Amino acid sequence: MTLEVRRIVTGHDAAGKAVIASDERMVGSTRAGRGGIARCEIWSTNRMPVDNAESAAAEQKKGFVVRHNYVGSGQGTVVRIVEFAPGSPKFMHRTETLDYAIVLSGECDMELDNGKTVHVRQGDVVVQRGTMHAWVNTGTQPCVFAFVLIDADPAEAGGQSLRTHYPA
């Protein structure tokens, strides 16, 4: 499994004209215990409105994620590309974010903590609103998502605040 993503970042020259600040290939990384899942952290921010100053770019490029899958500043964003191999381990999790999950290629199931599943295919978009969920690839091909995460207040239901839950 080799996830590769091209990241092109724009900027400005001294005259205020648009330039390509960087153009690079990123190779996906995996976490221990989560074989079959590779990800590339494309960009993240730690406040709104976003600081588009050139001086902020290095930190945004490096990333502000303080806990896996969660920005943590309360006002940030993350863009990440994730590849789920067939049979990759499933893990139920919830984040204090609003997520746009865009299927770039392949197919996958999103399983909710009530046991319900929905099948997603290339071109589908899931709007994930702080719910417990897992991505399950039972197919024969990798499934690649683009995720855009935006910090959000915790979801509330049944009189409880539904905080981040992300297994170690």
CA distance linking residue 101 with residue 98, whole number of Å: 10
What is the chain's mean pLDDT, rounded? Answer: 91
Tokens at 164, concatenated: 């981040």
CA distance linking residue 83 with residue 60, whole number of Å: 22
Query: Per residue in 70-97, pLDDT tens?
Result: 666 678 899 999 999 999 999 899 988 9
The 3-class secondary structure across the chain, one letter per residue, is CCCEEEEEEEEECCCCCEEEEEEEEEECECCCCCCCEEEEEEEEECCCCCCCCHHHHHHHHHCCCCECCECCCCCCEEEEEEEECCCCCCCCEECCEEEEEEEEECEEEEEECCCCEEEEECCCEEEEECCCEEEECCCCCCEEEEEEEEECCCEEECCEEECCECCC
CA distance linking residue 27 with residue 2, whole number of Å: 7
pTM score: 0.92
Query: Per residue in 106-155, pLDDT tens?
Result: 999 999 999 999 999 999 999 999 999 999 999 999 999 999 999 998 89
Show the domains of the chain with their CATH numbers: 30-162 (2.60.120.10)
